[in-house]
Structure 1
Amino acid sequence: MSKCEGKVIALTGPRKAEEMATIVSKQGGTSLIRPTQGTMFEQFEHLEAEVDKLIYEPIDWAIWTTGMGVDKLVEAARAAGKGDALLAKLAQLRHAARGYKTVNALRRLGLAVDVRDDDGSTLGLIRALRSGGAERFAGTRAALQLHGDPAPALVQFLQEAGAESVELMPYRHTPPEDSVLRQLTEELLEGKIDAVAMTSAPQARFLFAYAREQGLTGQLLEVFKERTLMAAVGKVTAAAIADEGVERILVPEEERMGALIVTLSQWFEQQHS
């Protein structure tokens, strides 16, 4: 018997959902693509303004939190005829990165990463920044690339270290259509889903915000406690899910989407053994 045979897994991420669905199928399961998060790229004028911050403002450090953010800013710079100027400026800076995708995005640009996290999380990045001596940030200016949401912990670290932060927001997370949230919520309450695989914190926030609006939070939490398993791609996503009141959360050791589905399959297999 395949590990996920007879199991229905809801995929809530809008990116790479088809790839994850293929992995689910190879594990013998059935996937439902139910994106509970939309990603909105800002208008070009806004992106060019963010690029200009990097090029023209005095900056010593660039702190990156997503590979998509790196790619989007470089793409906007090239579209505005400022690609070479941006890359020249970035080559002068010291770089800190959260997550392997972010590190890879910087390396594709020929940029060395001076500091990186130890576990794919923002807190891991802060630990790495602190371990090298927070005093090195005193009197500096750091460009902080946000990933669709504010990053108060990073901002606080920089403030306490005596650094000034320049925030860059190349994109924002937006909720999906209510119809998607309604469909997923109904399927969960009707017991039609065996597991939900989430790949970012906003996915949890938008799902439970909808549940609160409908007065269904308690019922939804009961579903995740008694029947449907919640699975998170990593610690950041898991923390956001836990903040919503979910107690049973499966997290793979390796913070990757493929590892998430494989770990989920192994969990189901253990339940049958």
Structure 2
Amino acid sequence: MSGKGKLFGRKIVIAGSRKTDEMSLLIEKQGGIPIIRSLQGLVYVDEPAVEQDLKYCVGNKLDWFICTTGTGTEALIHAASKLGIDGALLQQMKTCLIASRGYKTYSKLKNLGMKPDVVDEDGTTEGLIRALSPYQFKDQRVAVQLHGEPQPTLVQFLEERGAHVTPLLLYKHIAPDPATLELLCNELTAGQVDAVCFTTAVQVRYLFHYARANNRENAIKAAFGGQVRAVAVGKVTAEALREEGINLVIAPESERMGAMIIGLVNHYNSYKDKLNKAE
């Protein structure tokens, strides 16, 4: 590890479970000390439930199909293909209104020959809800593609407007090891780490769910409001942090892990400049 890097020996937590070696190397090249605290639970596919929901979508006329992730949209078509109903599903999607969240989802739908009727402005669930607000949903059948976790805000928005919602939850997360959550909470409240890099929104939710269940939410929020920097890989993850009351969130315009680390470096450079000017 270089002692002259721009992260100045700071301890940077990686909350993800994928590409941790690559992220660790990026942090070390900038002089930081990577710490792996994976808050990304394992995933599994509830195949019987997915099969039932897909067959419902194919067998009933839908008014709307809402896609929230590119990976999930691809997995949806793959799951339908395994059942031999992918052609029927695609035809169903092409005959109803399509809403899309995020540029990856938009690109995936275009590759499938569909142009979304409604697109969010900023890649977030709240942005998608704003884009859907002018539309009527009373007695409309709406399929919502999900990936990894429910979207209660989006589903509630639709149901409050009278929609009949079919969530397509292709993957479900299994919670991370409680010992990892406890260790990270201890490190945060003791001031032993300088930043936490979140690579998915579910990592944020697991951390704060654990903190609330163990009466540590205020202490964790205080840590992020003080020494510790919350870093998000993109807009959806940043949105999850802000929903938890974390106001200072470092997030790159380009939703890439490398850009996230550079964003943290730039933040500390800017912070150092302010301190120098104050002196």
TMscore range, shorter length: 0.7 to 0.9
Partner of 2:35: 32
Partner of 2:12: 9
Q: Which amino acid aligns with 1:41?
A: Y
Find the aligned partners of 1:215 and 1:10 in 2 and give their Cα distance.
22
Q: Secondary structure at the match of 1:169?
A: strand
* Structure 1 alignment gaps of length 5 or more: none
TM-score, structure 1 length as denominator?
0.83
Find the aligned partners of 1:15 and 1:102 in 2 and give their Cα distance.
21
* Structure 2 alignment gaps of length 5 or more: 274-279
Residue 92, structure 1, aligned to residue 99, structure 2: no
Partner of 2:195: 195
Residue 230, structure 1, aligned to residue 230, structure 2: yes
Offset, 1:70: 1.2
Do the aligned partners of residues 60 and 67 (structure 1) sit closer, same or farther apart at CA in structure 2, a change above 3 Å counting? same
CA contact (8 A) 2:46 2:171 kept: no
Percentage of identical aligned residues: 41
Offset, 1:244: 3.9
Find the aligned partners of 2:24 and 2:46 in 1 and give their Cα distance.
31
Equivalences for residues 1-273 of structure 1 within 5 A:
1-130=4-133, 133-135=134-136, 137=137, 139-159=139-159, 161-273=161-273
Find the aligned partners of 1:270 and 1:198 in 2 and give their Cα distance.
21
Do the aligned partners of residues 195 and 97 (structure 1) sit closer, same or farther apart at CA in structure 2, a change above 3 Å counting? same
Q: How many residue pairs were aligned?
A: 270
Q: Which amino acid aligns with 2:221?
A: L
Provide Cα deviations, 1:159-210, integer angstroms capped at 9, x if missing partner. Answer: 4555432222112233201122133233334433211112333322322333
Q: Which amino acid aligns with 2:135?
A: A
Do the aligned partners of residues 226 and 158 (structure 1) sit closer, same or farther apart at CA in structure 2, a change above 3 Å counting? closer
CA RMSD, 1 decimal: 2.8
TM-score, structure 2 length as denominator?
0.82
Offset, 1:158: 3.1
CA contact (8 A) 1:99 1:121 kept: yes
Q: Which amino acid aligns with 1:175?
A: A
Q: Secondary structure at the match of 2:225?
A: helix
Provide Cα deviations, 1:214-263, integer angstroms capped at 9, x if missing partner. Answer: 44444433332332111233454344434545443333345554433221
Find the aligned partners of 2:113 and 2:78 in 1 and give their Cα distance.
16
CA contact (8 A) 1:39 1:171 kept: no
Find the aligned partners of 1:112 and 1:92 in 2 and give their Cα distance.
12
CA contact (8 A) 1:50 1:170 kept: no
Find the aligned partners of 2:160 and 2:271 in 1 and give their Cα distance.
47
CA contact (8 A) 2:17 2:40 kept: yes
Offset, 1:117: 0.5
Provide Cα deviations, 1:60-115, integer angstroms capped at 9, x if missing partner. Answer: 22101112221222221222233333233333333211112222232333332222
Partner of 2:277: none
